[in-house]
Amino acid sequence: MDTYGYPVCLMVSEGQRNDITYAIPVLEQIKSLKGSQVVADRGYDGQALVNYIYSRGGEPTIPSRKGAKFERHCDWWLYKERHLVEKLFLKLKSYRRIATRYDKLSCTYLVFLCIASILI
Structural domain boundaries, residue 78: 19-119
Q: Does the residue 90 lie in any domain?
A: yes
Q: Does the residue 10 lie in any domain?
A: no
Q: Does the residue 14 lie in any domain?
A: no
Q: Does the residue 105 lie in any domain?
A: yes
Per-residue pLDDT tens for 38-53?
A: 888 888 888 898 899 8
Report how far apart the first and last C-alpha atoms of the chain are (Å, whole number): 13
Per-residue pLDDT tens for 25-36?
A: 888 888 878 888
Total domains in the fold of the chain: 1
- pLDDT of 1 higher than 70: no
State what percent of residues in the chain have pLDDT above 70. Answer: 98
Q: Does the residue 2 lie in any domain?
A: no
Q: If we measure between CA atoms, which residue out of 80, 85, 39, 35 comes closest to residue 60?
A: 39
